[in-house]
Amino acid sequence: MGPGPSDVNPRVLAAMARPTIGHLDPEFITMMDEVKAMLKAVLKTNNELTMPVSAPGSAGMEACFVNLVEPGDKVIVCQNGVFGGRMRENVERFGGIAIMVEDEWGTAIDLAKVEAAFAANPDAKILAFVHAETSTGVRSDAQALCKIAQANNALSIVDAVTSMGGIELDVDGWGIDALYSGTQKCLSCPPGISPVTFSAKAVEVVKARKSKVPSWFLDTNLVMGYWGGSGKRAYHHTAPVNALYALHESLVMLLEEGLENAWARHNLHHQALKAGLEAMGLELLVDEADRLPQLNSVKIPEGVDDAALRSALLDNYSLEIGAGLGALAGKVWRIGLMGAGCTRRNVMLCLDALENTMR
């Protein structure tokens, strides 16, 4: 019950143990088509450029920035936790100019500040933000942020590593231009794959670049030769065959459950966890309106030894909860309720373990 990787369902682990076949085998190519169709369904998009990058969420992040940012481009980057800071790193490493909009850790991105940043920088090309900040447990209003980007003729880059599968996400409905996620959170898959999607507008921007995409591996023009929709698949890199079996199975399971049902399950167990924590006198960090059900930041009470408590949970209950990161280190615990780990049984285990250990 940490901030990810989350528990992996045995069905997904079993899928992963299937024999490794060729990454251009007709059976495998059929499976790739299915993965792509299911990713589109889960992300609610018709984007042709929708694919799993063969590397973790950080590579998905890099795929978005390396393709869309050219030297001298202005990018408005929102930071209200750890991962917005990494976006800034990406912008600057690819020669862009990051215009930072900062909010306190534990609060949502302030829309008025973003509007003010566009007013001061009408030539900004991109707005980049984290939908679900795993370092704090905050959900920002992705729909409203994308609307601001559109009103200012800018593209949006959205980090959905922790949101995908756990809370509402609607790529086409909200007009998201580029999005990356990860398999190890609410998809409950082993880590190491990053679903990515680019709108037709974003693809046009990549095609119209003045300079070559500075990464060969992440250049969408090249990798789409393997993941594109033409039916023909040309070798680009050796796909992580077994990891894609796992992703396929986890997407089958998510769609069997139904997206809305999965979101409702995350909310239900979050409410139960919250009620139990509050009954114990514990307090959540984030305002109710901005809380992520899948990542609960709990203020560590005075007098409780953070590291000793987490070790005791691990030793006595085989239960992992996350430590605070960055500015919140030593101040909060991060309790994950992600994907297959988001169950009534886990809520009860966690409350029981915390109560007995804090006594």
In whole angstroms, the minimum distance from the beta carbon of 356 to ligand PLP comes to 29
Report the alpha-carbon distance of residue 82 to residue 161 in Å, rounded: 13
Report the alpha-carbon distance of residue 147 to residue 90 in Å, rounded: 23
Q: Does 56 bind ligand PLP (CB under 6 A)?
A: yes
In whole angstroms, the minimum distance from the beta carbon of 182 to ligand PLP comes to 4
Please give the backbone phi and psi of residue 135, each rounded to the nearest 5 degrees, phi first.
-75, -15
Q: Does 297 bind ligand PLP (CB under 6 A)?
A: no
Which residue, chain included where needed, has tokens 């704090």? 136
Query: Is-contact 50 200, C-beta < 8 A?
Result: no
| Class of residue 241 by CB neighbours under 10 A (exposed 0-12, middle 13-18, buried 19+) | middle
Spell out, one character per residue from 156 to 195, where the chain touches ligand PLP: x when CB under 6 A holds, - when not: ---x-xx-------------------x--------x----
Nearest position to ligand PLP, beta carbon: 57
**Binding range to ligand PLP, per CB under 6 A, among 50-58, 239-247, 248-256, 299-307:** 50-58
Q: Quick one: which of 50, 90, 134, 296 contacts ligand PLP (CB under 6 A)?
A: 134
Q: Quick one: which of 2, 4, 137, 322 contacts ligand PLP (CB under 6 A)?
A: 4
Query: Is-contact 247 187, C-beta < 8 A?
Result: yes
**For residue 233, what are its two tokens?**
């698949």
Residue 243 — left, alpha, or beta (φ > 0 → left; ψ -120 to 50 → alpha)? alpha
Task: Please tell me whether 334 is known to bind a ligand.
Answer: yes
Q: Does 293 bind ligand PLP (CB under 6 A)?
A: no
Query: Is-contact 323 329, C-beta < 8 A?
Result: yes
130 or 300: CB nearest ligand PLP? 130
Which residue, chain included where needed, has tokens 């680009």? 236
- Longest C-alpha distance within the chain, in Å? 63
Spell out, one character per residue from 200 to 239, where the chain touches ligand PLP: x when CB under 6 A holds, - when not: ----------------------------------------
118 or 180: CB nearest ligand PLP? 180
Q: Does 5 bind ligand PLP (CB under 6 A)?
A: no
Q: Does 130 bind ligand PLP (CB under 6 A)?
A: yes
Residue 228 — left, alpha, or beta (φ > 0 → left; ψ -120 to 50 → alpha)? beta
Size of the site for ligand PLP (CB under 6 A): 13
Span 298-337, contacts to ligand PLP by CB under 6 A: none
Which residue, chain included where needed, has tokens 């490794």? 20
Helices and strands in the chain, H and E counts: 13, 12
Q: Does 57 bind ligand PLP (CB under 6 A)?
A: yes
- Residue ranges for the binding site for substrate? 334
Could you list the residues that contact ligand PLP (CB under 6 A)? 4, 56-58, 61, 83, 130, 134, 159, 161-162, 182, 191
